[in-house]
Amino acid sequence: MLLKGKTALITGASRGIGKEMARRFIEEGAAVWGLATKSSESARELAELAAQNGTVYHELIADIGNPDSVRPVIEAAVKESGGFSVLVNNAGITRDGLSFRMKLEDWETVLRVNLTGTFLVTQIVSSDMIRKRAGSIINLSSIVGLHGQGGQVNYAASKAGLIGYTKALAKETAGRGVRVNAIAPGFILTEMTDVIPEDAKKTWLETIPMKRAGTVQEVANAAVFLASDLSEYITAQVIGVDGGMGA
């Protein structure tokens, strides 16, 4: 039970990587609060799993890209939970397209959700962590934020921004007992990647030294490590879960 006694907030917790991280955190003993844009069946499943594991799961509903929506929800959650020892900023969206055709709305929406949303949530949660001089913040970036990807200039910019944000925030909070790290997944099998054409998937797989896609479980395992005391001397790092793509 690597996370027993810890209380975690995970954004984008209703599906994909976020749901799997919530599941793994619960299995490791954490009390989990999951933020999503709308209520889903996932929340009931996670609440049942939490009860079986002697802990709790709370569903939070807010639009992370809207300050007026997300701020009061996170402020109330910090107060009700007594404060979070772990924050996982996982919520993210894509609006792909070539840069010279991209609508300004698609550019701004991706940055607002992926980058500004992380800032809004972290600003509230980290203030409490700093007062308590303890906490672990985990930001979900991407290999695209490290190496770029054609047709995803908005997404790549947001994920590269998260890396800079991670490193800067880590330097602000390290002396106050709060660690900040990022995970940069590579090609991971999720609902988001299901829509990629098979020929494009084959091309991606050929670029991976391990010759296979990653799983949500493998990303969640990295998050468990960064959330736990096993990583207590690790901060300002970007951990690639990418099968060697970023080497």
Annotated catalytic, 155? yes
Of residues 214, 129, 201, the one with CA closest to residue 172: 129
12 is in an annotated binding site: yes
Q: Taking each helix axis from N to C terminus, what angle separates 16-27 and 216-227, rounded to the nearest 10 degrees?
A: 50
Q: Is 79 annotated as a binding residue?
A: no
Burial class of residue 182 (count of CB atoms within 10 Å of its CB; 0-12, 13-18, 19+): buried
- CA dihedral sign, ordered 166, 112, 187, 146: negative
Structure tokens, 16: 């994909």
Q: Is 155 annotated as a binding residue?
A: yes
The Cα 238–Cα 224 span in angstroms is: 15
Q: Is 15 annotated as a binding residue?
A: yes
Helix axes 104-111, 153-173, angle to 10 degrees: 30
Is 156 annotated as a binding-site member? Answer: yes
Q: Distance of CA 76 to CAs 4, 33, 83, 88, 155, Å?
A: 23, 12, 10, 17, 30
13 labelled binding-site residue: yes
Residue 39's DSSP bridge partners are: none
Q: Is-contact 4 28, C-beta < 8 A?
A: yes
Establish whether 103 is an annotated binding residue. Answer: no
Kindly name the residue from 57, 155, 165, 233 that is annotated as catalytic.
155
Neighbouring residues of 167: CB distance < 8 A, sequence distance ≥ 6: 180, 236
Encoded tokens for 61: 């509903």
90 is in an annotated binding site: yes
188 is in an annotated binding site: yes
Q: Is 14 annotated as a binding residue?
A: yes
Q: Report how far Cα 221 is from the mean position of its chain's Cα atoms.
A: 13
Q: Find, among 195, 214, 223, the residue nearest to 26 by Cα.
A: 223
> Which residues does the annotation place in the binding site for NADP(+)?
12-15, 90, 155-159, 188
Q: Which residues are catalytic?
A: 155
> Which residues does the annotation place in the binding site?
12-15, 90, 155-159, 188
